[in-house]
Amino acid sequence: MKVLWFISYCAYLLGLLGRICAMSHSIGQSQFLSDGESLVSEGGTFELGFFSPGSSTHRYLGIWYKNIPVRTVVWVANRKTPIKDRTGVFLINSTGSIVVTSRTSGVIWSTNSFKDAKAPVLQLLDSGNLILRDEKGSNSDVYLWQSFDYPSDTLLPGMKLGWDLRTGLSRQLSSWRNSDDPAPGELSNGIELHEFPEAVVWKGSRKYFRGGPWNGERFSGAPDLKVNPIYDYSFISNKDEVYYTYQLKNKSVFSRLILNDTASSRQRYVWVEASLAWMLYSSVPHDYCDTYGLCGANTVCVITDSPMCQCLDGFKPKSPDSWNSMDWSEGCILSKPFSCQNKEVFVKFSELKLPDTTKSWVSDTMNLQECREACFKNCSCMAYSNSDIRGRGSGCVLWFNDLIDIRQVSNGGQGLYIRIEASKQAGRRVVNAVLYSLITVAVLFGLVLFCYYLSRRKTKVRGITGQDEWTREEPKEDLDLPFFDLATMANATDNFSLNNKLGEGGFGPVYKGTLADGQEIAVKRLSKSSGQGLNEFKNEVKLIAKLQHRNLVKLVGSCIDGDEKMLIYEYMANGSLDSFVFDQTRWKQCGWSKFFQIIDGIARGLLYLHQDSRLRIIHRDLKASNVLLDAELNPKISDFGLARTFQGDQCGDSTERVVGTFGYMAPEYALYGLFSVKSDVFSFGLLLLEIISGKKNRCFLHPHNHHGLIEYAWRMWTEGTPLALVDSSLEDSSSMLEISRCIHVSLLCIQQSPDDRPNMSAVVLMLNGESTLPQPKQPGFLRDVIPSEIITTLRSEYDSCTANEITFSSFGAR
């Protein structure tokens, strides 16, 4: 009996092996594929079978690369209906339908029925396409069904993204929910059908990204589709089909385009054999200007400008108040409605992503002149351009009513002719001519006045008694600011009593006081031995007296009496931010929601300084001790003694005298004395890390290798454990996603290169989850730029995390 059983079992195994081998490339109607078996394409490139994604135990039928060690799934059949055991079977049933079934759940997934097929066969091609054809049909090369028509999250070379207009089939990508669940996520990508079709990425039901319409060579908003060594692109639009596809120039290269729900982006990868890894080749959205409709109607987004959003010529903000507070959603409207009596002209704007084509009209036969005339005749026509830029340009596109989602595309884009009033264009020429004349005269006149001023100033300084060249009367002429005498300040602070002392910094002590009318104040008294001299004092008075923002400390007045110099501020009941962040008891009581409110307030205060105030102001010493908290814990940036101001488009400078606090300086400032708004962004990023961790930067400094908070945060990020940075008291917080986003933003702010760091307008958007976050590059590690002698001097200070911070103002930039 045992011998018979063994012979029978061997026969079963041989039969099973023969069945598996027989269906290695294809399966017919009498065959099936069970869990544990697979179908391999003829060239061995792709494999089909049952798998479990990530850490999930559910089973799915899918296709993946056979010869890539990292399992990379490119298609899933039963995305929405997983099999909960290993009883799955894949087959062609009696009606010609392709079916996935399980013993416990019955039919899990199926296609349409193909009853007329005489000998249906399923075959996996080396392109990754699973096809169903009729071997005995009149045309066996015609596919009855193919997986390429029903993509998952991946577009492979040769696949079509778009529409078959004959059948109404729409081929769209949709992201996985996460690495454990291939069910459709938030992102989807397809072709939007209208007069001038274009590719769109949706996030849920709203448009998320648009590459611009195809212009014969590329999408107008996608300069990366220019000539390159890897891909050829095509966009086909005719009466039968509208689709986008790409091919590889080198067939030995593996490449895929995917929708990534976690990164909220569409990513293109190339397999690098040398490193056995997928390399990210390109990703969209590229930046914040790629966010669909970010700036509202009739605007252009310029990522290199601040603010990014600008009204088109001839338009003005629809809601000036919202616009000035960086809420651009309402966009812009015509400064003056068109009269439609031949009083308008078209002005060409170059290097643009063309507007959303939902409200457009297109002709393949018109030339550009005919296009202009057609637009002129329709009062609702706002702009026109070529539909095809190959050669001299041909075809015509007209846009009606509002122009949506325009951005500047450097070294790419396309020309767009926008309608504006002729009087405005003529007026501009006149204004320019007048301005040029006035500027010439003003420059000459200014030189004369400047020479006269220098002469008068020297005379005045020589005639002043005492050591101050800045008298009490001088600022009164320029500032609407109260001035107090020394007796008033002594009386308000109980003669500068130690009981009233709030703290002390590099400038000197700060005292709490109360004026005669009951107003509580903080008096900053400049010490005679302070490193902050007369220039810094004057600088702070002139700057802060003119600043008005809820996240900047308010200057109540000043006192200059002999050798005494004092600044009088509004009193902040909760002191400085460092007393909360670095005090574990107060830190835990505060809670994340309140800290996020503080972070957001600091960001908005910096944004005001960099962009929205009358002058562009760089603080140069942003740190926790220079952020004060009122009774409601609203943050207010203080201490402007080291700040610098700029006018117009200037946003930076260099200095031979580096000033500021060690550990908060941006690398380019500490090394070369170069400072800009991006220097403040660096300091903000580090302050953000300190708030999240509840630790001072220097508390992470190792006595031998000098590792600081920045390096620690970067190491946690690269190891995929950024939340290890978060204080243990927040581990149960329901806001971990928000905290994780803040860590991501902080790393973007402290990147080595200033050009890579976002500006504060972008930071505010990122903190509030209104934009996609790019991957951060390596931070600026200050241990690589601070001189070793200074590190040696500081070592003793790092033994105690409660030691006073050290401010440098003496070593020169190298």
Structure tokens at 663: 């550990």
| Radius of gyration (C-alpha) of the chain in whole angstroms | 34
- What's the mean pLDDT in 542-560? 82
- Give φ, ψ of 270 to 5 degrees: -130, 135
Q: In sequence order, which residues have a C-beta less than 8 Å from that of residue 297 and are 6 or more positions away?
A: 318, 331, 332, 333, 402, 403, 404
Give the residue from 269, 266, 308 showing the smallest Cα distance to 285.
Answer: 266
Q: What is the dihedral of CA 684, 688, 691, 694, to 10 degrees?
A: -110
- What's the mean pLDDT in 46-70? 95
Residue 585: is its pLDDT beyond 50? yes
Give the residue from 157, 174, 125 showing the smallest Cα distance to 232.
Answer: 157
Give the residue from 59, 50, 54 showing the smallest Cα distance to 82.
Answer: 59
Least confident of 21-25, 26-30, 480-484, 732-736: 21-25
C-alpha–C-alpha distance, residues 202 and 186, integer Å: 8
Residue 22: is its pLDDT beyond 60? no
Q: In sequence order, which residues have a C-beta less than 8 Å from that of residue 452 and are 6 or more positions away?
A: none
User: Which of the four pLDDT bands, split at 50, 70 and 90, describes residue 276?
Assistant: confident
Task: Name the percent of the chain lying above pLDDT 90.
Answer: 41
CB-based burial of residue 323 (10 Å sphere; 0-12 exposed, 13-18 middle, 19+ buried)?
buried
What pLDDT is recorded for position 528? 61
User: Which of the four pLDDT bands, split at 50, 70 and 90, describes residue 587?
Assistant: low
Order of strands across the sheet that contains 277-284: 154-155, 255-260, 265-272, 277-284
The domain limits of the chain are 20-150, 152-286, 293-422, 473-570, 578-808
Q: Are 720 and 624 in contact (CB under 8 A)?
A: no
Task: Determine whether 405 is an active site residue.
Answer: no
Rounded (5°) CA angle 289-295-299: 100
C-alpha–C-alpha distance, residues 485 and 523, integer Å: 13
pLDDT tens-place string over residues 645-698: 765 455 555 554 555 566 677 888 777 778 888 999 999 999 999 998 888 876
Q: Is the dihedral angle over the CA atoms 414, 415, 419, 420 positive or is it negative?
A: positive
Give the residue from 158, 217, 160 showing the smallest Cα distance to 189.
Answer: 160
Least confident of 490-499, 628-637, 724-733, 780-789: 780-789
Alpha-helical segments (H) within 700-787: 709-718, 736-749, 760-767
C-alpha–C-alpha distance, residues 499 and 512, integer Å: 9
Q: Do domains 473-570 and 578-808 have the same CATH topology?
A: no
What pLDDT is recorded for position 508? 76
List 35, 261, 356, 621, catalytic entry: 621
Residue 444: is its pLDDT beyond 90? no
Report whether the peptide linkage leading into residue 635 is cis, meaning its omega lies within 30 degrees of zero.
no
What pLDDT is recorded for position 18? 38
Element (H, E) at 118: none
Least confident of 289-293, 424-428, 568-572, 720-724: 424-428
User: Which of the four pLDDT bands, split at 50, 70 and 90, describes residue 127?
Assistant: very high
Order of strands across the sheet that contains 38-40: 38-40, 46-51, 60-65, 73-76
pLDDT tens-place string over residues 260-270: 998 888 998 88
Give the residue from 665, 620, 658 showing the smallest Cα distance to 780.
Answer: 665
- What's the mean pLDDT in 500-518? 83
Give one DSSP letter per residue of 217-271, joined into a string.
Answer: SSBTT-GGGSS-SSEEEEEEESSSEEEEEEEESSTT--EEEEEETTTTEEEEEEE
Identity (one letter) of the amino acid at 726?
V
C-alpha–C-alpha distance, residues 577 and 623, integer Å: 9
Residue 803: is its pLDDT beyond 80? no
Residue 529: is its pLDDT beyond 60? no
Structure tokens at 354: 């063309």
What pLDDT is recorded for position 188? 97
C-alpha–C-alpha distance, residues 565 and 493, integer Å: 15
pLDDT tens-place string over residues 387-399: 998 866 689 999 9
Residues paired with 161 in a beta bridge: 244
Q: Which CATH number fits domain 473-570: 3.30.200.20, 3.30.420.10, 3.10.20.30, 3.40.50.150?
A: 3.30.200.20
- What's the mean pLDDT in 602-614? 88
Which of 60-74, 580-594, 758-772: highest mean pLDDT? 60-74
Residue 302: is its pLDDT beyond 80? yes
Residues paired with 505 in a beta bridge: 508
- Give φ, ψ of 662 to 5 degrees: -55, 135
C-alpha–C-alpha distance, residues 809 and 814, integer Å: 14
What pLDDT is recorded for position 19? 41
**DSSP letter at 339?**
-
pLDDT tens-place string over residues 307-328: 889 999 889 999 998 898 888 9
**DSSP letter at 354?**
P
Q: Is the dihedral angle over the CA atoms 179, 183, 184, 190 positive or is it negative?
A: positive
Element (H, E) at 691: helix 677-693
CB-based burial of residue 645 (10 Å sphere; 0-12 exposed, 13-18 middle, 19+ buried)?
middle
Give the residue from 621, 604, 554, 646 showing the smallest Cα distance to 808.
Answer: 621
Report whether the peptide linkage leading into residue 307 is cis, meaning its omega lies within 30 degrees of zero.
yes
3-state secondary structure of 777: coil
For the domain spanning 20-150, the CATH number is 2.90.10.10
C-alpha–C-alpha distance, residues 536 and 699, integer Å: 30
3-state secondary structure of 377: helix
C-alpha–C-alpha distance, residues 811 and 798, integer Å: 20
User: Which of the four pLDDT bands, split at 50, 70 and 90, describes residue 274?
Assistant: low
What pLDDT is recorded for position 670? 75
Q: Find tokens 């799934």 and name the residue.
A: 73
Least confident of 156-165, 291-300, 492-501: 492-501
Average pLDDT value over all residues in the chain: 80
3-state secondary structure of 808: strand
40-58 burial, b if ≥16 CB within 10 A, otherwise e? bbeeebbbbbbbebeeeeb
Residue 411: is its pLDDT beyond 90? no
- What's the mean pLDDT in 330-336? 92
What pLDDT is recorded for position 305? 79
Residue 793: is its pLDDT beyond 60? no
C-alpha–C-alpha distance, residues 401 and 359, integer Å: 8
Structure tokens at 756: 């890579």
Looking at domain 578-808, its CATH superfamily turns out to be Transferase(Phosphotransferase) domain 1 (1.10.510.10)
Q: In sequence order, which residues have a C-beta less than 8 Å from that of residue 755 and are 6 or more positions away?
A: 678
What pLDDT is recorded for position 418? 94
Give the residue from 721, 723, 720, 725 showing the smallest Cα distance to 710.
Answer: 725
The residue that leads in pLDDT, 771 or 418, is 418
C-alpha–C-alpha distance, residues 48 and 69, integer Å: 15
What pLDDT is recorded for position 744? 94
Q: How far is CA 534 from the centre of its chain?
A: 41
pLDDT tens-place string over residues 182-226: 999 999 999 999 889 999 999 999 999 999 999 888 888 887 666
Q: Are 581 and 697 in contact (CB under 8 A)?
A: no
Which of 364-373, 469-478, 538-547: highest mean pLDDT? 364-373
What is the value of pTM for the model shown?
0.56
C-alpha–C-alpha distance, residues 119 and 173, integer Å: 31
Residue 339: is its pLDDT beyond 80? no
User: Which of the four pLDDT bands, split at 50, 70 and 90, describes residue 447?
Assistant: low
Quick one: residue 162, left, alpha or beta (phi over 0 = left, psi -120 to 50 = alpha)? left
Q: What is the dihedral of CA 351, 357, 361, 362, to 10 degrees?
A: 60
Residue 740: is its pLDDT beyond 80? yes
